[in-house]
Amino acid sequence: MARPDDRAPDQLRPVRIQRGWLDHAEGSVLIEFGGTRVLCAASVQDSVPRWRRESGLGWLTAEYAMLPRATNTRGDRESVKGRLGGRTQEISRLIGRSIRACVDFKALGENTVVLDCDVLQADGGTRTAAITGAYVALADAVSWMRERKMTKGDPLIDSVSAVSVGVIDGEPRLDLCYLEDVKAGTDMNVVCTGGGSFVEVQGTAEGRPFDRSELDALLDLALGGCTELTRLQNEALGR
Amino acid sequence: MARPDDRAPDQLRPVRIQRGWLDHAEGSVLIEFGGTRVLCAASVQDSVPRWRRESGLGWLTAEYAMLPRATNTRGDRESVKGRLGGRTQEISRLIGRSIRACVDFKALGENTVVLDCDVLQADGGTRTAAITGAYVALADAVSWMRERKMTKGDPLIDSVSAVSVGVIDGEPRLDLCYLEDVKAGTDMNVVCTGGGSFVEVQGTAEGRPFDRSELDALLDLALGGCTELTRLQNEALGR
Amino acid sequence: MARPDDRAPDQLRPVRIQRGWLDHAEGSVLIEFGGTRVLCAASVQDSVPRWRRESGLGWLTAEYAMLPRATNTRGDRESVKGRLGGRTQEISRLIGRSIRACVDFKALGENTVVLDCDVLQADGGTRTAAITGAYVALADAVSWMRERKMTKGDPLIDSVSAVSVGVIDGEPRLDLCYLEDVKAGTDMNVVCTGGGSFVEVQGTAEGRPFDRSELDALLDLALGGCTELTRLQNEALGR
Amino acid sequence: MARPDDRAPDQLRPVRIQRGWLDHAEGSVLIEFGGTRVLCAASVQDSVPRWRRESGLGWLTAEYAMLPRATNTRGDRESVKGRLGGRTQEISRLIGRSIRACVDFKALGENTVVLDCDVLQADGGTRTAAITGAYVALADAVSWMRERKMTKGDPLIDSVSAVSVGVIDGEPRLDLCYLEDVKAGTDMNVVCTGGGSFVEVQGTAEGRPFDRSELDALLDLALGGCTELTRLQNEALGR
Amino acid sequence: MARPDDRAPDQLRPVRIQRGWLDHAEGSVLIEFGGTRVLCAASVQDSVPRWRRESGLGWLTAEYAMLPRATNTRGDRESVKGRLGGRTQEISRLIGRSIRACVDFKALGENTVVLDCDVLQADGGTRTAAITGAYVALADAVSWMRERKMTKGDPLIDSVSAVSVGVIDGEPRLDLCYLEDVKAGTDMNVVCTGGGSFVEVQGTAEGRPFDRSELDALLDLALGGCTELTRLQNEALGR
Amino acid sequence: MARPDDRAPDQLRPVRIQRGWLDHAEGSVLIEFGGTRVLCAASVQDSVPRWRRESGLGWLTAEYAMLPRATNTRGDRESVKGRLGGRTQEISRLIGRSIRACVDFKALGENTVVLDCDVLQADGGTRTAAITGAYVALADAVSWMRERKMTKGDPLIDSVSAVSVGVIDGEPRLDLCYLEDVKAGTDMNVVCTGGGSFVEVQGTAEGRPFDRSELDALLDLALGGCTELTRLQNEALGR
């Protein structure tokens, strides 16, 4: 059974990474995974939250959100509803946790980087696109800081990228678009370092529970996808 | 005294209107007034709010928001704070009121158009760019509706555009950028129809109160600016 | 076509200004524009908001609200709903901005005046009655401060008053009551200094857009109304 | 030890009841207990809450609030804070419960009366003044309903009034003003019917716990006070 | 007419007090009044609220809440609704006020005790069970503090217990269960010291107003109940 | 290096499952994993959410919360803060998703089961204890429904249990207590069916990223733990 866009099961959608999309942010990226389009901004603040003060350590946090008409049907704004939804908070926490895995907070010094990941258009895999783009925005913000001697050495230990995988009609597939996402029996988001280790593995049986062999196949697919995303991140960064 | 970007006092910034920027929305526009960049999406719903039901009339509403890093310093998200700021609500109301002035709600039928104006980058005049772009997004959404026979004739009575004007160091200027906006003694936002009538005039003395002759000079400037914006809207719409 | 209360088109409703209506407030006024009744209290605090500290400058802010049964049909309390409506915030901001136009913040010293304008009964023009009354309450609070040597010279540069004007059935009219307000094609609120300059001009086409000659006629009416309100403010203050 | 205003221990403050203070409300009263001034509005709605529908029974509810500058020091608005304080809710519930004790909901029919009690100025005993005034406002609203044949017979079974009592320096006193209230060792609010029965008795040991004889003395004082308040309510209502 | 559990009118339900139910809290009690089960935790903090600092005095506060399925029908969580109900706040305030009546804040030193009373199962009288259990939890927390020399002498002046009483079918009864509570014409909660004085008396006519003799009978019953509860508290504390 | 409670690396803490802990709930369980104590209540409602109506399908949802003093240091109540934390929502969603994996919604009919999981005491693994206990509470609620013929056949397809695993000082361990949890380099929560398939796998690198062999070792441990938990669930249910 062919994929909606005729990709091979282990093939990413076309990925496009535009750096410097915003004039004001210290780092900013418009990242596209096919029809998914996320604007990632890295903002540098020369202070840390109260609980972190006088520790010599920096901090990094992330906020994820979706514009109301990013999706096929318009969603209500969380600012209008007056409360953040569970999904929004869960993804914000995931992005922050994932990106923190590649940061040396001692080298960062008592500075904070805030990563804003705003989904302008959604077609599946918004959280993994956000993580992949946020790393690039962070890398630019870190360069900006290093030029200003705000850091102590290189705060980036490794790179981080992420991809979704899932089982559709019994077939493990890489980087699901929305049409595949809603049909997936098992859905997994995997965050890896550039070095190929796992930062986060989140697998969910949407329909039928999954067994060990399916899990293994999905992890293999995801590792391959992250290797390619790492290459694209490095290419975008001119490394 | 020269303007920051060497424009003539009665000259608009470069205006760019990209239609169809989003795949899902019935109408969408990325509009730029110089460094100000606003994503306007028009969403069509085939129902009206409860208080409007069985009136035979449609409805149109607007929501304005700014991404946290649209500005030079990152602002907190209103969704995280759990409440809409006064400025956000005031501008949302202004956009809705302004665009409703060009809509024939009987022709629209019992449908609602929601206009989402999200500021991706801010450099002064975000509300006027939003109104100018929202009209174009609305025009596309109305075409979409007419193709589907959802309307009774043409719901668009006229077009609407908006521009800011202000007095800087005694000189009336058109379409203020952020640097001018913060220095303006008097600041005015003017919304006009394509036919050259006023829909909304909002003038505020930021410093010294202004007299009738200053008000007249600003209104002249604004009318000229709106005439040019109307031309650009028509051009973008291929009229 | 006669006005509901048989006034001439350029005639104010009976205005009544009662000073010292509250025992505790440093300045307080119950102001009436016909059936509109607003209680304005000016509270003095010997500190300024955090962002204003050590600037040598004072601050002034305003909050507007309406009692639930000020109107013909009972409205829900915003405290019960848990959020301020857009209209409430918009008017609060307008009042603060308008009154700040007559204050010398250096002379005020590092003190804050909070103006509470609570509408006890509404019959059109509540925001303009609030501004007109708030100025008088402020004047009393400033006298209270000057007696206690809290200021450096006179913090009041000028006086401020406000009035609504509108076009009903083609006729420009001054100081609309509620019945006229709902029928007005164009509705404008004008805030002037005692010296006859504009502080704020907010004109809105409720139905048909308006042209320059209508705008001019409304501004003329408003200036006349504000001149008379200034006289009544001075009379109330025994100047 | 004399009282701040030289009253006898069993003497009420001057009570003033002005009916019809608002034009729109079906019943409205400005009630004063000395310096305490509460605006009570009774609003009639020809429906009942969802849980009460098709029961043949009416409903009555109350909301109490204080203007920010009712007190000596300005308090923050609960609408601005975005949440109702515990004290506000507690008093709103008390007023509603107390007044409901004199209503025959079958006779009221499927209508709702909302009582808004807004404290314009506070000098102790605001909740008891609110209850006493709210009853009079309700009586007027009920007359309004009866004229329109909205009720089935007389919905008012009895009248209701309330007063505070307390022990100051060992002396039981009636109708405490603010200065006495803060010094009271025991503080009690008593709500009675016109017939002299108890609707609500709320006694609190602010400092030292109280014994049975103190409780008895306070109840005696309160019953006397309510008898006088009932007389004043009837006088105001022209009974 | 027999009581649902065949008790005598002046008989308490079986009361069970389990101390040390939680590992972490400085004092904790699971208290049962028949089917009513409340978990009371006393938490010690070595600081006081801002307004109490440098006064040499401690503070005590209480929070009451009910699990969603404590009741016969599941109730919505207040955390999910985003606001505390009036009943919750009213009871939290009552518990805090009641327990503070037995505390010498000078002896407590600048420490705060927070009492959390969470109703695990409700069968009437939850607030009185909470007060009775909270006192025992506090006593354990105070012992914990005294062992650590955090206090100056004994902060407990007296003990506190509470019970509900009410009139059902004309008969005054002690310690109402839920079935009786809903049928009670008059409902009263009484908080007493171990020494037999009143801390709080809250009587409410649910249906018919009550007279002095009914009030007296209910107070007699309550005093008897509190005497027995004081005995059970002492027994649980091994005094 | 020994575990704090001297367990073998692949050994669960003592697990205790008390059914019927609440009188009102259709199913209820107090489950203990060592010092972790969670009260799980299953509430049956004979209706479904609006979006599920007339589908013939039932629904199941879950809410997780922690009492303020479940933890070593008292936490603020989310009801008092007025908003749900991200962690709370994330775990609530996880529990609902996990338990739904074992439900046949067609067999459940148009009924809803709400699972309330309230942590009375926390010592690590609260979410996995909640899932394990919630399944047992659900099983009892389903029996209750089947007795009342509310279902169409057996709505339980399988059973569900969950356990945490982690790497401490290089050693993979089963069912972490709090002291181990804070030291874990990698932390994973695994939800399995009684049949040994995965429902949810959530692995997080708290410090160093983890590789495939660590992931495999943790999954092995978790599968063994869930097998034992399934046995204990069946034992508790008398199967």
What's the half-sphere exposure (Cβ side, CA atoms, 13 Å) at F3?
Answer: 23
What local confidence, expressed as pLDDT, does residue F207 receive?
A: 78
Could you tell me if residue D224 is inside a domain? Answer: yes
Tokens for B113, please give them: 């158009």
Backbone φ and ψ of A67, nearest 5°:
-65, 150
Task: Indicate whether A174 belongs to any domain.
Answer: yes
Residue F9 lies in a domain: no
Give the number of residues written for chain C: 239
Name the residue among C153, C238, C174, C165 with its Cα closest to residue C206. Answer: C165
What is the Cα gyration radius of chain A? Answer: 18
List residues bridging with A18 in a β-sheet.
Answer: A30
In sequence order, which ranges of B109-177 are alpha helices (DSSP H)?
A: 126-147
Strand partners, E97: none
Indicate which CATH number applies to the domain containing A25.
3.30.230.70
> Known binding site: residues of E?
87, 125-127
The closest alpha carbon to D92, from D100, D80, D103, belongs to: D100
Query: Is position C16 annotated in a ligand binding site?
Result: no
Rounded distance between C-alpha atoms, residue B35 and residue B15, angstroms: 10
Q: What is the spatial distance between Cα F199 and Cα F128, in angstroms, rounded to a whole number?
A: 13
Q: What mean pLDDT do residues C45-65 have?
A: 97
Percent of chain D residues past pLDDT 70, beyond the cut:
100
Nearest to B63 by CA among B81, B78, B48: B78
Q: Is B125 annotated as a binding residue?
A: yes
Gap between the Cα atoms of D185 and D175, Å rounded: 14
Per-residue tokens: B88 = 């956000």
Q: Does B76 touch chain A (CB under 8 A)?
A: no
What is the per-residue pLDDT for A185?
87
| Nearest by CB: E205 against D86, D89, D101 | D101
Nearest to E209 among D188, D198, D210 (CB): D198
Which residues have CB under 8 Å from E84's CB, separation 6+? Answer: D83, D86, E78, F79, F80, F82
Q: CB distance from C236 to chain D under 8 Å?
A: no
Q: Tell me what the mean pLDDT of segment C162-190 comes to.
A: 95
| Alpha-helix residue ranges (DSSP H) falling in D151-239 | 178-181, 212-236
Nearest residue in D to E214, CA atom: D198
Q: D86 and E90: CB-CB below 8 Å? A: yes
Whether pLDDT at C33 is above 90? yes
Of B83, B97, B193, the CB nearest to C83: B83
Asked if A43 and B74 come within 8 Å (Cβ–Cβ), the reply is yes
Q: Where are the beta strands (DSSP E) in E20-159?
A: 27-33, 36-45, 59-66, 112-121
Which of the four pLDDT bands, split at 50, 70 and 90, describes residue E26? very high
According to DSSP, the residues that pair with B112 across neighbouring strands are: B45, B59
In a domain, C38, yes or no: yes
Q: Do D199 and E211 touch (CB under 8 A)?
A: no
Q: Closest by alpha carbon to D91, among D58, D123, D125?
A: D125
- Helix (H), strand (E) at residue A215: helix A212-236
Maximum CA extent, chain C: 58
For residue C30, list its beta bridge partners: C18, C39
D185 contact partners, CB below 8 Å, separation of at least 6: D166, D167, D168, D170, D205, D206, D207, D208, D210
Overall number of domains in chain F: 1
Matching residue, tokens 């608009």:
B12
The reply to whether D144 falls in a domain is yes
* Cβ proximity of E114 and D110 under 8 Å: no
Q: Does residue A1 have a pLDDT over 80? A: no
Alpha helix (H) residue ranges in A101-196:
105-108, 126-147, 178-181
Query: Is residue E5, in this structure, part of any structural domain at all?
Result: no
- Are D32 and D83 spatial neighbours (Cβ–Cβ below 8 Å)? no
Q: Is pLDDT at F97 greater than 80 in this prediction?
A: yes
pLDDT band at D185 (very low <50, low <70, confident <90, very high): confident
How far apart (Å, rounded) are the C-alpha atoms in residues F88 and B193?
50
Give the strand pairing for A112-121 and A36-45: antiparallel
Helix H or strand E segment including A65: strand A59-66
C77/D71 CB distance under 8 A: no
Q: Is the pLDDT assigned to residue E15 strictly greater than 90? A: yes
Flag whether E96 is in a domain: yes
**Sheet of strand D36-45: strand arrangement:** D15-19, D27-33, D36-45, D112-121, D59-66
Confidence of residue B1 (pLDDT cuts 50, 70, 90): confident
Confidence of residue C145 (pLDDT cuts 50, 70, 90): very high
The model's pLDDT over B118-176, given as tens digits with 9 standing for 90+, comes to 999 999 999 999 999 999 999 999 999 999 999 999 999 999 999 999 999 889 999 99
* Residues on chain C touching D28 (C-beta within 8 angstroms): 69
Six token digits for residue D174: 């009636």
Q: Does C215 touch chain B (CB under 8 A)?
A: yes
**What per-residue confidence (pLDDT) applies to C208?**
87
Q: Which residues pair with D155 in a beta bridge?
A: none
Output the pLDDT for position E77: 97
B127 annotated as belonging to a binding site for a ligand: yes
> What's the average model confidence in pLDDT over A60-89?
96
Residue D131 confidence (pLDDT): 98
Helix (H) or strand (E) holding A78: helix A78-81
The predicted model gives B53-80 an average pLDDT of 97
Whether C188 and B195 have beta carbons less than 8 Å apart is answered as no
Query: How far apart, in Å, do the first and last CA atoms of chain D sit?
Result: 38
Chains near C, with 3+ CB pairs < 8 A?
B, D
Using CA atoms, how far residue B219 sits from B13, B183, B196, F191, in Å, is: 18, 19, 11, 67
Q: Is residue A186 part of a domain?
A: yes
Residues of chain C contacting B226 with CB distance shorter than 8 Å: none
Cα-based distances in Å from F90 to A44, A94, B135, D28, F200: 28, 11, 40, 50, 13
Kindly list the residues from chain C whose CB atom is less than 8 angstroms away from the CB atom of residue B200.
Answer: 203-205
Are residues B136 and B195 in contact, defined by beta-carbon separation less than 8 angstroms? no
DSSP class of A71: S
Nearest to B227 by CA among B6, B7, B4, B10: B10
Hey, is the C-beta of A24 within 8 angstroms of any chain B C-beta?
yes
Q: What does DSSP say about strands B59-66 and B112-121: parallel, antiparallel, or unpaired?
A: parallel
Give the nearest partner residue to A43 out of B25, B69, B78, using CB atoms. Answer: B69
> Nearest-CA distance from C163 to chain B in Å?
15
Q: Identify the top-confidence range among E2-6, F26-30, F78-82, F180-184.
A: F26-30
What is the structure's pLDDT at C207? Answer: 78
| Paired tokens of B24 | 């899902």
From B158, B179, B159, B160, select the one nearest B168 (Cα to Cα). Answer: B179
Would you state the structure tokens that stand for residue C161, as one six-digit string?
A: 């008053």
Q: Of all helices (H) and strands (E), which one includes residue F80?
A: helix F78-81
Question: Which residues on adjacent β-strands are paired with residue F36?
Answer: F33
The predicted pLDDT at position F1 comes to: 73
Asked if the Cβ–Cβ distance from B22 to A77 is below 8 Å, we say: no
For residue D83, the chain C residues in CB contact (below 8 A) are 79, 82
Q: Smallest CA–CA separation between F120 and chain E, in Å?
A: 8
pLDDT band at C99 (very low <50, low <70, confident <90, very high): very high
For D199-222, how does the pLDDT look when each residue is reduced to its tens digit (9 = 90+)?
999 999 987 899 999 999 999 999
pLDDT at D227 over 80: yes
Whether C174 shows a pLDDT value over 90: the answer reads yes
Distance of residue A208 Cα from the nearest chain B Cα, in angstroms: 31
Q: Taking the model in full, what pTM does it have?
A: 0.94
Contacts of B121 in chain A (CB under 8 A): 22-24
What pLDDT does C35 receive? 97
pLDDT of residue B206 exceeding 90, the answer is: no
Binding residues of D for phosphate are 87, 125-127
Q: What is the pLDDT of residues D124-167, one digit of tens each?
A: 999 999 999 999 999 999 999 999 999 999 999 999 999 999 99
Given D79, D114, D118, which is nearest C78 (Cβ)?
D79
Quick one: pLDDT band at residue E162, thresholds 50, 70, 90?
very high
Phi and psi at residue D150, in whole multiples of 5°?
Answer: -85, -15
Find chain E residues with C-beta within 8 A of D101's C-beta: 205, 209
